[in-house]
Structure 1
Amino acid sequence: MSVASHSARSRVTLKARRLPGWAPAGVGAAAILIAALAVYLPGAGGPVLTSVVAALLFLVGLGALSTVVEGGRAARNRVATSLVYAAFVLALAPLLSVALTLVTKGSERLNGYFLGVSMKGVSAFDNKGGAYHAIIGTLEQAGIATLITVPLGVLGAVYIVEYGRGRLAALIRFFVDVMTGIPSIVAGLFILAFWVLVVSPMFNNGRPEYSGFAAALALSVLMLPTIVRSTEEMLRLVPGALREGAYALGIPKWKTITKIVLPTAAPGIVTGVMLAVARACGETAPVILVALGNPAINFNPFSGGQSSLSLYVYEQAGTASKYAPGRAWAAALTLVVLVLSLTVAAKLLARRNKLAR
């Protein structure tokens, strides 16, 4: 046997057999066809059951075909990969369904008129009114809560990571974890008992003052643990070599934190802040308890009742009127777009940081 023929036979022997590229698609099409003929057309089940049967047939068929052609090892790899893709689709399907429903139903009523008027003087059975007063309330309440919570949360995380040692740091971390699970109604009750019923009467001739500021305080209680925990994790991800290099150059610790550590962790901190803001914008119970709601426009968050988009959705969804669901869906879409816009703007501002790139 010549050397050339031996090399050619070795190449042929070492080359593994593979399924053609169209094989998975063909197996999938066959699985869908069989499932439709066996389940959907006879009326034995709907689209969900048909999809489940088709997925099972696809996994069995692809695994069997791959075992025959490629061997058991490759077949197990193909089945595992298919399961990963299936899990991704299952996780994505509810999100896409909610987004599609929200856009479809919310866009029917969402227009300039809806965004520019309030519900003052509009009855539940009137095909008028909008969410301008609720948008103002959401922006003011979330803005005040952010101004209060972000400095406290970031400074608390800096203390835990950079300075905190021993039992005090562990105690702070424990209480932050406990606060993470506090229901929103408890935060609202706390501000109602402390601020509205005890503190505000001192500045309002002995009468409790329900206001948007009180709602912002309740939202701050809910936002604080999220910001502290997310900032803490981002600060721990900053490489220690950056701190050591700054210390080696004689830079003080406080300046190292403010000029190197925090700018490096800024994108992650911004993400945590926007998660907290999104939660605050979607809370209803605290606003009901301490702001009471208001169908009219109130630009003053420190005096008088104030509404929010989440409260507006809650009120309209519970109203027995054929016009109320449309207003509720439009307000829900407005809230989602508002939070998305704030998140995108915050991420773009964070990307301008040179140290974070």
Structure 2
Amino acid sequence: MSAPMPTGLRPVPAVRRAKDRFVQALVCLAFVLAIIPLLAVLWMVVRNGLARFDLEFFTHSMRGIGARDAGGGAYHAIVGTLEQVLLTSLISVPIGLFTAIYLVEYGAGGRLARIVGFFVDVMTGIPSVVAGLFILAFWILALGMPFSGFAGALALSILMIPVVVRSSEEMLRLVPRDLREAAYALGVPKWRTIVRVVLPTALPGLVTGVMLAVARVAGETAPLLLTVFFTDSINHDPFHGPQMGLPLFVFDQAGRPSDTAIDRAWTGALTLILIVMLLNLVARAIAWWRSPAKRGS
């Protein structure tokens, strides 16, 4: 029986193994500490939100419902939130995506690209109430436009654009340069390479970035307080008149001195979480369906 051949590898010292296990334990502990608050918040929202999670809540507004009255719902706020988030996305996603394409594909560290990147970083740190104050002062007071869902969408766009820019920029930078050079070698113009090669490759990451930005603005209350105003009635037109939103609905109901209003606030918060989750799932399904790997199979 022949002796085993030496491999030249020395056994791992016990001290090194102990350090590795210690670091692994710290990572697991950090994960647990990070996930506990999230699970606690979700548990509280679900447990308290189920009290009014019924058909009436999703089909009725608060028109004619007093602070202490039972019943009523958030249909007007759900419609307002969906329309405001849609308008915000229609404004922010093209601007943010085109800006990211310029920074990655055309700017190449130029002076204008550095200036744009600086202002994007500044906009990332703008407090939400400042965005609302700007639209209130410029759009409503200076130009004389009415309180509306569109005014709220403009304020939310100020918050959403820098998030879309930064997330899209990082996803575009992850696309291998070999794919671009292969397209250039075949004589494909740069704009067509971006449209047909770069964007489809980065599509799953781009969708994830957009959904993070949507989740960022969907729960904002301060900009809506200053631009949308309060209403208990259903308003399907986001361009005319006050329009409620789910964050405003939760804020309004939570401040009323009755248990029925508090229950409506919890259910409104649960509904907002479910809407963001549903939008995320739909966007990820579309990204998976349109991904190059799926189309190539």
- In the superposition, the TM-score normalised over structure 1's length comes to 0.77
Show the counterpart of 1:41.
none
Q: Does 1:179 align with 2:142?
A: no
Residue from 198, 217, 221 that aligns with 2:142: 198
Matched, 1:84 2:27: yes
Contact 2:203/2:291, CA 8 A, preserved across alignment: no
> 1:260-275 residue pairs with structure 2 within 5 A?
260-275=197-212
1:164 matched to 2:101? The reply is no
- The one of 150, 160, 163 aligned to 1:226: 163
Contact 1:264 1:356 in 2 (8 A): no
1:247 aligns to 2:190 (yes or no) = no
The 2-side partners of 1:71 and 1:302 are apart by: 69
Question: Residues 1-16 of structure 1: matches in 2 within 5 Å?
Answer: none
Q: Distance in 1 between matches of 2:133 and 2:22?
A: 52
Match of 2:133 in 1: 189
Shift in Å, 1:198 = 2.6
Q: Following the alignment from structure 2 to structure 1, what is the Cα–Cα distance between the partners of residues 222 and 135?
A: 12
Letter paired with 2:253: Q
Matches of 2:42 and 2:78 in 1, distance apart? 20
Matched, 1:122 2:59: no
C-alpha change, 1:232 and 1:77, in structure 2 (3 Å) is closer
Deviations 1:117-166, CA, capped at 9 Å, x for gaps: 10011011001111100000000000011011111111111111111142
**Match of 1:80, as an amino acid?**
V
Q: Distance in 1 between matches of 2:279 and 2:176?
A: 29
Percent of paired sites with the same residue? 54
Runs of 5+ consecutive residues of structure 2 not aligned to the other structure: none
CA distance 1:226–1:328, shift in 2 (3 Å): same
- Contact (CA 8 Å) 1:150, 1:273: kept in 2 or not? yes
Residue 294 of structure 1, CA deviation = 1.0
Residue equivalent to 2:56: 113
Per-residue deviation, residues 18-40 of structure 1 (Å, max 9, x unmatched): xxxxxxxxxxxxxxxxxxxxxxx
Q: Which has the higher contact order (CA 8 A, sep 6+)?
A: 2
1:209 partner amino acid: P
Aligned pairs for 1:1-357 (under 5 A) are: 71-165=14-108, 166-199=110-143, 201=144, 208-355=145-292
Give the Å deviation of 1:85: 1.6
Q: What SS class does the counterpart of residue 108 from structure 1 fall into? A: helix
**Which one-letter code corresponds to 1:78 in the other structure?**
R
How far apart, in 2, do the equivalents of 1:356 and 1:264 lie? 9
- Report the Cα distance in structure 1 between the residues aligned to 2:104 and 2:16, rounded to whole angstroms: 46
Let me know the Cα RMSD of the aligned residues. Answer: 2.0
SS in 1 for 2:71: coil
Match of residue 54 from structure 1:
none
Deviation at 1:241, TM superposition (A): 0.5
Deviations 1:68-102 (A, max 9, x none): xx954433333332222222111111111111111
Distance apart, 1:15 and its partner CA: 10
How far has the Cα of 1:354 moved from its partner? 3.5
In structure 2, how many angstroms separate the alpha carbons of the residues matched to 1:327 and 1:138?
16
Alignment length (residue pairs): 289
Higher mean C-alpha deviation, range 228-237 or range 317-326: 317-326
Maintained 8 Å contact 2:204/2:291: no
State TM-score, norm by structure 2.
0.92
Considering only CA atoms, is the larger Rg found in Structure 1 or Structure 2? 1
Q: Partner of 2:183: helix, strand, or coil?
A: helix
Give the Cα separation in 1 of the matches to 2:251 and 2:158: 22
Please list the CA deviations of residues 210-247 of structure 1 after superposition, one character each: whole Å capped at 9, or x if unmatched: 11110011111110000011111111110001100001
Structure 1 residues 75 and 303, CA gap change in structure 2 (3 angstroms):
same
